[in-house]
Amino acid sequence: MKLYFAPGACSLSPHIVALEVGIPVKLEKVDLAKKKTASGKDYLTVTKKGYVPALELDDGRVITEGTAIVQYLADLKPEKNLAEKPGTYERAKVQEWLNYIATELHKGFGPLFHPGSEEEKKAAKAKLIERLVYAEKQLENSQFIAGDHFTVADAYLFTILTWCKFVGIDLLDMPALSSYMEKINNRDSVKKAFADEKAA
């Protein structure tokens, strides 16, 4: 399998999950501005969406959208219990958090990374902080975002939280999120993912 990624992007999340479950993936770096891969391929032939991540299966089929990819990878190795058993309350909670991270946090960074007035950015930042506080409250009573062990939702949340420093959000103001970030950052899969992407 091949994972198309861009440094600093949300494609870090499926990379972490692949490492957690022990599924080897070949990394292919994408220049998102030029829509070209490191090997010179037109990235729009991989996915018309033009953004990362994309996971190319061994038979050439492609899965896009980070939340779909992480669940697919986790389900290939159910014994690792990274997405919980289908049809259970625990699985629904993992999916609940994946959706919250995607719609309330990930999307919330958009206005802060794109052109806009200072007033618009200030409003977007305030809304994003409000959404982060919800995750902070969850982590005050839970070791991981969806329960008592690491899941695909943690890989995604960690990835999104790495962007806080680029938009002037100090996680030290949120002690549970801050210690959570430190804990996830120390996982072997995360260290390796950062090293692999730097080397690619």
CATH code at position 194: 3.40.30.10
Q: Are 150 and 162 in a shared domain? A: yes
- In this structure, what is the dihedral angle of CA atoms 186, 190, 196, 200, given to the nearest 10 degrees? -120
Domain range holding 96? 89-187
Q: Are 108 and 159 in a shared domain? A: yes
Q: Are 93 and 173 in a shared domain? A: yes
Q: What is the pLDDT of residue 29?
A: 98
Residue 70: closest CA among 195, 197, 193: 193
Q: What is the pLDDT of residue 116?
A: 83
Structurally, the chain folds into a number of domains equal to 2
How far are the Cα atoms of 44, 110, 168, 170, 176 from residue 173, in angstroms, in the given order?
40, 22, 12, 6, 9
For the beta sheet containing 54-56, the strands, ordered from the edge strand earlier in sequence to the opposite edge, are 36-37, 26-31, 2-5, 54-56, 62-64
- Tokens coding 109: 């960074």
Identify any residues that bridge with 37 across adjacent strands, giving them in sequence order.
30
Q: What is the pLDDT of residue 167?
A: 94
Spatial distance between the Cα atoms of 13 and 20, rounded to a whole number of angstroms: 11
Q: What is the pLDDT of residue 114?
A: 85
State the CATH number of the domain containing residue 168: 1.20.1050.10
Q: What is the pLDDT of residue 200?
A: 80
The CB density around residue 172, as the number of other CB atoms within 10 Å, is 7
Q: What is the pLDDT of residue 69?
A: 99
pLDDT of the chain, 200 residues: tens digit per residue: 999 999 999 999 999 999 999 999 999 999 999 999 999 999 999 999 999 999 999 999 999 999 999 999 999 999 999 999 999 999 999 999 999 999 999 999 999 998 888 999 999 999 999 999 999 999 999 999 999 999 999 999 999 999 999 999 999 999 999 999 999 999 999 999 999 999 98
Q: Are 29 and 40 in a shared domain? A: yes
- Within 8 A by CB and 6+ apart from 111, the residues are 120, 121, 124
Q: Are 55 and 123 in a shared domain? A: no
Rounded to two decimals, the pTM is 0.96
Q: What is the pLDDT of residue 130?
A: 97
Q: Are 108 and 51 in a shared domain? A: no
Q: What is the pLDDT of residue 115?
A: 83
